[in-house]
Amino acid sequence: MTQKILVVDDEKLIRWTLEQHLVKEGYEVASAESAEKGLALINEDPPDLVLLDNRLPEMTGLELLEKLNVQERGIMVIMITAYGMVETAVKAMKHGAYDYISKPFNLEEITFVIKKALEAGSLRTQVKQLRQEFSSKVDTIIGESDEMMKVKNLILKIAKSDATTVLIQGESGTGKELVAKALHYSSARADQPFMAINCAALPVTLLESELMGHEKGAFTDAKTSKKGLFELADGGTVFLDEIGDMDMSMQAKLLRMLEEKTFKRVGGVKDIKVNVRLVSATNQELLKAMREGGFRKDLYYRLQVVPIYLPALRDRGQDVLVLARHFIEYFNKECHKNVLGISKEAEQILLSHHWPGNVRELKNVIERAMILDIDSEILPEHLSPDILEGRPATSASSLTPVSLEGLVIPDSGLSIEDVENALVRKALDMANGNQTRAAQLLKMPRDAFRRRMKRFGII
């Protein structure tokens, strides 16, 4: 692939000379006479390398560099400074420039520096990609339960079929994003981009231009034209997170795009065709949203050509412990600790917790425990009060069937909070106001019981 170089210099002769020379050297070259124009070109079609003069009218090269966040974007910058301006050069390097060159320079020198920078750039990209791939393959999805083995097998199957559209559903924290990445990095698209966007985080107009791109002047802030995610991810995967929150008008636009297999940038006339795999995810029940008119049926069926359902952590049996051990290892490395494992008692508590926040919650619980001073094992006292409180209520083994006879649920509904309030009062009544006994009756630590008393205004 031809590498792209952008020359930003206000001197026409320098631009022209560099352009002629670099094209001869086999590069694709664009040029801009000001930092503003340079920025527009970079946003529109990011080059591999920028030759950036510092002394420019209005915005200086350094100021442009500060705006660019080049390391994140993987753009190599070579700063051109006036002779003797070492300070500028140092600043430029601090802001992510790869190297600098002083004026006057000769073409041989510049060719050498460019070659070196592009080599370093491509190495950096490869390392980044390898690291991503390594940390995102199916093996990174921890779990041995039947449910999770099925999910992993399904991911490998989908990864082999090239273009299938996938919808990942599961409660919050079940690993939907992890699965989307594993799918991408296990597929033939692995060396192409994986682009994610959260549909709930952006207002609809912005979301449309982020996805489809826009032409210059399409709206007030559109000072330059810009590629959208679908164009940038060409050949790879686009991950639409929290698709359940997508506005109806955007849903219509996305559906049109999926049906026609082309789209137009906002304010554009040209039909654009790309080759991306669309993976979406939601923690909402889309079927319910569809029934209630908040999600389009036709779009739902387009998106979920293959559905992946991620089970809640509470339904994954021993995976809770497998994951807990995995996170202990992870935080041992991360925080230079040497925690050996979890005590049997703490294991029972983890197994019986309800995990409303799923794997994310478990990861947080382990991280929090490992901040504490732990001799060798995580003990119940290292677990957060929420988890300890949840123990009696959710422990499957200690559950005694409760008769609900006599309980009336009014038509207006009843919250669990109301039920808890009534239970706390009833237990106190039965224990003649003795809080310790009342807490025992509800199989709850006294602290937790008193917290509820406070919450319900009893004390």
Ligand X SMILES: Nc1ncnc2c1ncn2[C@@H]1O[C@H](COP(=O)(O)OP(=O)(O)OP(=O)(O)O)[C@@H](O)[C@H]1O
Q: Which residues bind ligand X (CB under 6 A)?
A: 141-143, 170, 172-178, 283, 323, 359-360, 363
Binding-site partner at residue 311 among Mg ion, ligand X, none, CB < 5 to 8 Å by type? none
Q: Which is nearer to ligand X, 38 or 143 (CB)?
A: 143
What whole-number distance in Å separates Cα of residue 285 and Cα of residue 265?
31
Binding-site partner at residue 155 among Mg ion, ligand X, none, CB < 5 to 8 Å by type? none
Beta carbon of residue 429, minimum distance to ligand X (angstroms, whole number): 41
Beta carbon of residue 260, minimum distance to Mg ion (angstroms, whole number): 29
Binding-site partner at residue 61 among Mg ion, ligand X, none, CB < 5 to 8 Å by type? none
Residue from 229, 192, 196, 272 nearest 1 by CA? 192
Q: Which is nearer to ligand X, 30 or 286 (CB)?
A: 286
Beta carbon of residue 425, minimum distance to ligand X (angstroms, whole number): 36
Binding-site partner at residue 190 among Mg ion, ligand X, none, CB < 5 to 8 Å by type? none
Q: Is the dihedral of CA 203, 206, 210, 213 positive or negative?
A: positive
β-bridge pairing 166-169 and 226-227: unpaired
User: Is residue 247 within the footprint of Mg ion (CB under 5 A)?
Assistant: no
Q: Is the separation of the CB atoms in 155 and 138 below 8 Å?
A: yes
Beta carbon of residue 205, minimum distance to ligand X (angstroms, whole number): 24
Residues in the chain: 459
Beta carbon of residue 238, minimum distance to Mg ion (angstroms, whole number): 15
Binding-site partner at residue 254 among ligand X, Mg ion, none, CB < 5 to 8 Å by type? none
Beta carbon of residue 249, minimum distance to Mg ion (angstroms, whole number): 24
Q: Which is nearer to ligand X, 170 or 390 (CB)?
A: 170
Q: Which is nearer to ligand X, 135 or 262 (CB)?
A: 135
Q: Which is nearer to ligand X, 176 or 452 (CB)?
A: 176
Helices (H) and strands (E) in the chain, counts: 20, 14
The closest residue (CB) to Mg ion is: 177
Binding-site partner at residue 175 among ligand X, Mg ion, none, CB < 5 to 8 Å by type? ligand X
Beta carbon of residue 172, minimum distance to Mg ion (angstroms, whole number): 8
What whole-number distance in Å separates Cα of residue 246 and Cα of residue 450?
42
Beta carbon of residue 303, minimum distance to Mg ion (angstroms, whole number): 16
What tokens does 124 get? 């950096």
Binding-site partner at residue 172 among ligand X, Mg ion, none, CB < 5 to 8 Å by type? ligand X
What whole-number distance in Å separates Cα of residue 413 and Cα of residue 222?
50
Footprint of Mg ion on 171-210 (CB under 5 A): 177
The closest residue (CB) to ligand X is: 175
What whole-number distance in Å separates Cα of residue 122 and Cα of residue 116?
10
Q: Is the separation of the CB atoms in 390 and 357 below 8 Å?
A: no
Binding-site partner at residue 360 among ligand X, Mg ion, none, CB < 5 to 8 Å by type? ligand X
Q: Which is nearer to ligand X, 177 or 377 (CB)?
A: 177
What whole-number distance in Å separates Cα of residue 97 and Cα of residue 426?
70
Q: How many residues bind Mg ion (CB under 5 A)?
A: 1
Cis previous bond, 307, omega within 30: no
Q: Which is nearer to ligand X, 208 or 319 (CB)?
A: 319
Beta carbon of residue 150, minimum distance to ligand X (angstroms, whole number): 13
Q: Is the separation of the CB atoms in 91 and 79 below 8 Å?
A: no
Q: Is the dihedral of CA 347, 351, 356, 357 positive or negative?
A: positive
Degrees to nearest 5, angle at CA 449 with 443 and 445: 50
Round to the nearest angstrom and report the end-to-end CA distance of the chain.
Answer: 73
What tokens does 264 get? 């137009």
For 372-401, where are the alpha helices, taking DSSP H only? 385-394
Binding letters toward Mg ion, positions 135-174, x by CB under 5 A: ----------------------------------------
Q: Which is nearer to Mg ion, 166 or 448 (CB)?
A: 166
Amino acid, single-letter form, for residue 204: V
Binding-site partner at residue 143 among Mg ion, ligand X, none, CB < 5 to 8 Å by type? ligand X
Beta carbon of residue 176, minimum distance to Mg ion (angstroms, whole number): 5
What tokens does 442 get? 């509800």
Strand partners, 278: 238
- What is residue 382's DSSP assignment? G
Q: Is the separation of the CB atoms in 119 and 300 below 8 Å?
A: no
Residues at the site binding Mg ion, with contacts judged by CB under 5 A: 177
